[in-house]
Amino acid sequence: MDSDTLPEESPAERRRQRVRTAILDAAERVFSKEGEAGLSIRRLAEEIDYSPAAIYKYFGSKEELLDELKESFFERLMSTVDRAALTTLPFEARVRQCFAKYVETAIARPYHYAAAFASAADPSAGMNGTDCWEDFEKTHKGQAFMIVVGLVREGQEIGVFDTSFDPYVAAKSLWASMHGVALLLIHLPDFPGLLPLPDRRIDTANFLQFHAGLLFRSLCASPVPPVCSGHDE
């Protein structure tokens, strides 16, 4: 059917979408203030003045809500990283920007980031089988991961990255590193500045650029000059 001839949504469907959006917005607000422990169907009902029964018409459980919050976070993350990957900057600058943007997105919304990795059922939990992998690729988390895989492949194709690396394994290693830095900065915001000498202290933005540079060089096919400081010249 041509997109110009698609039927308009009915008033009932539009109302349903509005209510569903209101529930998700409330869930994000509660999660951002109280974390996973504070999120419940009853708590959401109080937040938006709905009955728990009304919310159950849209989400069958807290776990289902968490899954939706995960997807909304990774949709935001995918969009942010994708924009960085598609800029006209030189290749190294694009890669470093993608790494930094991942961490910046995480620490800007720490509870949402925690929700994205909460313990509810997740297609990425078992990525060993073909079916599970195909399910994972359909998620926003999977699409964000594939952006990193694409950057590794691009680097290999243009002769910058070591072609002996499996791009999927390399992308997982990069993801693990970015995840670790994100969690450190969420739990220890002053982590970059915790250095013995005042003149060696570094702010978060410069630390992220320094770390992104280390990750980039770890994939390079040939040695590149080291960056001795995270500070801009």
Burial of 129 (0-12, 13-18, 19+ CB in 10 A): exposed
Domain end (from 60, 79, 95):
60
Domain end (from 40, 60, 80):
60
Q: What is the value of pTM for the model shown? A: 0.72
Range of the domain at 164: 66-121+131-219
**Residue-by-residue pLDDT tens, the chain, 233 positions:** 444 554 567 877 888 888 888 888 888 888 877 777 788 888 888 888 888 888 888 888 888 888 888 887 888 888 888 888 888 889 999 999 999 989 998 888 887 787 777 654 444 544 444 558 888 888 888 888 998 999 999 999 999 999 999 999 999 999 999 999 999 999 888 888 887 877 777 889 999 999 999 999 999 987 555 444 444 44
Quick one: 1 and 55 in the same domain?
Answer: yes
pLDDT of residue 157: 96
User: Which CA distances in Å does 176 have to 4, 30, 145, 180, 183?
Assistant: 44, 28, 11, 6, 11
Quick one: 147 and 174 in the same domain?
Answer: yes
pLDDT of residue 232: 47
User: Which CA distances in Å does 3 have to 6, 12, 214?
Assistant: 5, 21, 47
**Separation of alpha carbons 161 and 170, rounded Å:** 10
User: Which CA distances in Å does 54 have to 9, 97, 210?
Assistant: 21, 43, 49
Domain CATH code at residue 5:
1.10.10.60
pLDDT of residue 123: 47
**Separation of alpha carbons 164 and 220, rounded Å:** 11
Quick one: 41 and 6 in the same domain?
Answer: yes
pLDDT of residue 165: 95
Domain membership flag for residue 232: no
Quick one: 89 and 53 in the same domain?
Answer: no
Burial of 112 (0-12, 13-18, 19+ CB in 10 A): buried
Quick one: 72 and 52 in the same domain?
Answer: no
User: 161 forms bridges with which residues in the sheet?
Assistant: 220
Domain membership flag for residue 199: yes
Say if residues 169 and 223 touch (Cβ distance below 8 Å): no
